[in-house]
Amino acid sequence: MFRTRLISGIALVAIILALILPGGPVLAIGLLAISLIGMFELYRAVGLISKEGIALPAFAGFAGAAALFILLLFDQTQYLMVSAALTTCVLLAIYVFSWPKVSSTAVMQALFGLFYVAVMLSYIFRTRSLPGGEYLVWFIFFCSWGCDTCAYCVGMLIGKHKMSPKLSPKKSIEGAVGGVLGAAGLGALYAFILGARMPEGISIPEAAIICAAGALISMVGDLAASAIKREHQIKDYGRLIPGHGGILDRFDSVIITAPLIWLLSKLLGA
């Protein structure tokens, strides 16, 4: 299992590199594909997608995700809220003209999936598009995947006190502390190596603080995804990534850290 996870992890990092380094259309199209797969997994988990087919609200969610990334790609961010409003209107129309076949719960699940997956992941693209974004965007992954790796290692070595026994019995408080410190260390080391190439206003201590803050919130994202799985009695969201599960199993912490890193980068002058 460890070997499978390692190989899949290396392949996943290679794909992320191939998307983020060129940025622009390549990144936008790649993130749209990841978002659509993630939304499919979530919609399947909550019942919008089943063996009987795909519910109409799910199609509206997918269309909203496509519109979001098209607007971002062509730098039409002023229309993002209009797009969200139109998607909501379409969902309400589906609800009205399909009731009682389509429930209000299905409409809210579709809208939640759009925001939880596509909108949150779009902040990877938005961070990459900032001045110096080709350097800043990696903080998202130091916070999430870096924290996850460090937390796993520390938890395996010295973890004793359960952090959330019901949601994730294997996670420990010691592992969580190790994950935050590890992410902070990665951020500081990254800033030190880049030196003068780091965007103005982000020093080594600030890089460490950004990654520590992101690591803290990444654990919320991880546990939230676990809560959804437990509520709907599934082990993994999918089998797309051998040894890891589905897109949401691997991107659950990235989803929640991406907007935070974008916000912190903006506040620090990027």
For 17, 131, 180, 194, 251, the CA distances from 219, given in Å and listed in that order, are 23, 28, 9, 27, 12
Give the residues across from 241 on adjacent strands. Answer: 245
The Cα 270–Cα 263 span in angstroms is: 10
Same domain, 71 and 164: no
Tell me the C-alpha distance between 116 and 37, whole Å: 13
Paired strand residues for 172: 162
Q: Copy the structure tokens of residue 59.
A: 């199609």
Q: Does a cis peptide bond (omega within 30 degrees of 0) precede residue 100?
A: yes
Contact 19, 27 (CB under 8 A): yes
**Is residue 162 within a helix (H) or strand (E), and if so which, with residue range?**
strand 162-164
H-only helix segments in the chain: 2-20, 24-46, 56-73, 80-98, 104-113, 120-128, 133-136, 138-141, 147-158, 173-194, 204-231, 247-267
Tell me, yes or no, whether 167 lies in a domain: yes
Does residue 65 sit in the same domain as residue 141? Answer: no
The model scores a pTM over 0.75: yes
- The answer to whether residue 18 sits within a structural domain is no
Examine the domain organization and report whether 90 and 149 are in the same domain: no
Written as one string, the DSSP assignment of 51-81 is TTEE-HHHHHHHHHHHHHHHHHHTT-GGGHH
Q: What interhelical angle do 120-128 and 24-46 show, nearest 10?
A: 170
Chunked into runs of 10 residues, the chain (270 residues) has average pLDDT values of: 75 93 96 98 96 94 97 94 96 95 95 97 97 94 90 84 79 90 94 88 90 94 92 90 88 95 86
Residues 137 and 100 in one domain: no
pLDDT at 117: 98
Quote the pLDDT of residue 161.
80
Give the domain range for residue 122. Answer: 23-129
User: Which of 71, 97, 129 marks a domain boundary?
Assistant: 129
CB 34 within 8 A of CB 223: no
pLDDT of residue 198: 87
Are 190 and 262 within one domain?
yes
CA-based end-to-end distance of the chain: 41
Count CB atoms within 10 A of the CB of residue 193.
Answer: 9
CA distance 46 to 78: 32
Note whether residue 146 is domain-resident.
yes
Domain boundary among 98, 129, 160: 129
Do residue 40 and residue 99 come from a single domain? yes
Please tell me whether residues 78 and 170 are part of one structural domain.
no
Residue the block writes with tokens 């990877």: 124
Domain end residue (candidates: 100, 129, 158):
129
Instruction: Give the pLDDT confidence score for residue 256 in this predicted structure.
Output: 95
Q: Are residues 204 and 252 in the same domain?
A: yes
